[in-house]
Amino acid sequence: MKLHSAMTGDLTAGAPPADVGSIVSAGRVRTLFQPIVDLESGAVVGYEPLSRGPSGPLEAPDLLFAAAREADLLQELDELCRATRWAPPGRPGSVIR
């Protein structure tokens, strides 16, 4: 099976390490909350926080974290993501870690 070049290339191609530095220093990570639903009752029992970069080449988490690793900013990015992981106000359930 032949994979498309986008699937086999460098994950950080087109995204210089400096970009991830500005994302981290400016706190430009956003967190989306995926509802966790009880299959029997249909009730939302919690949320899974999913971190994303800003729109652009580092929006996808795999690309964002690969660029952070390459720029030696993985710990800083991880701390930023942890700081934004709390459940949105007014929603039932809790954050699932």
| 93 Rama class: left (phi>0) / alpha (psi -120 to 50) / beta | left
Of 73 and 33, the structure prediction assigns the larger pLDDT to 73
Does residue 24 sit in helix, strand or coil? helix
Beta partners for 49? 33
Mean pLDDT, range 65-92, rounded to an integer: 84
pLDDT band at residue 63 under the 50/70/90 scheme: very high
Residue 26 DSSP symbol: H
Q: Quick one: pLDDT at residue 6?
A: 47
